[in-house]
């Protein structure tokens, strides 16, 4: 029982950590470019930016099977991938899976890149859930195994006493 619970815990930990790999932007583009990205609302996609200076940006999204919306993130979340530090600054709220056109531009001559990746907070939550599962499911399995062992030992002891008294 305990070993099965450990296996379940390890599975969920690996699954949670695998979700961290899909966070970094897989599709990047420069200011003023329009890109077509496949959006799945279940992935909770986000828009990221990397650059050497702060910029004022303007992003828009169109197309797809329904009107998607861009919303600012509540806090700055960064991830380092491919030698660049990416900061998630928008989340994409799409009503359905589909192909959407995303355009981001910035004022001034700053060299920045934009990208679309997964939602960092969702990935962190998933990884934390995997860690929780790795710790508490095996602990629960261990408690059940100990309880079962104690119960079997007590039943054997009672059975032996009855045989000794009756024999």
- Mapped onto helix, strand or coil, the DSSP state of residue 88 is strand
* pLDDT for position 23: 62
Tokens of 147: 């309880």
pLDDT at 93 over 80: yes
pLDDT 10s digits, 13-28: 666 555 555 566 777 8
CA distance 74 to 87: 12
* pLDDT for position 157: 84
SS (H, E, C) 107-158: CCCCCEEEEEEECHHHHHHHHHHHHHHHHHHHHHHHHHHHHHHHHHHHHHHH
CA distance 137 to 7: 9
- Neighbour count for residue 85 (Cβ, 10 Å): 12
Per-residue pLDDT band for 78 (boundaries 50, 70, 90) equals confident
This prediction's pTM: 0.62
Contacts of 136 (CB under 8 A, 6+ apart): 9
pLDDT 10s digits, 106-164: 887 778 888 888 766 666 666 666 677 777 778 888 888 888 888 988 888 888 888 77
């Amino acid at each position: 029982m305990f070993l099965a619970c450990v296996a379940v815990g390890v599975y969920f930990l690996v699954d949670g950590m695998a979700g961290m790999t899909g966070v970094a932007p897989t599709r990047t583009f420069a200011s003023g470019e329009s890109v077509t990205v496949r959006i799945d609302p279940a992935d909770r996609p986000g828009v990221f930016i990397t650059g050497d200076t702060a910029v004022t940006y303007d992003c828009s999204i169109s197309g797809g099977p329904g009107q998607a919306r861009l919303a600012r993130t509540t806090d700055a979340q960064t991830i380092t991938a491919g030698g660049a530090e990416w900061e998630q600054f928008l989340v994409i709220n799409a009503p359905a899976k589909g192909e959407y056109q995303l355009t981001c531009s910035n004022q001034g001559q700053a060299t920045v890149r934009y990208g679309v990746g997964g939602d960092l907070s969702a990935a962190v939550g998933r990884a934390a859930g995997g860690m929780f599962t790795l710790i508490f499911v095996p602990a629960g399995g261990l408690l059940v195994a100990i309880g079962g062992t104690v119960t079997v030992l007590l039943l054997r002891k009672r059975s032996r006493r009855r045989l000794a008294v009756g024999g």
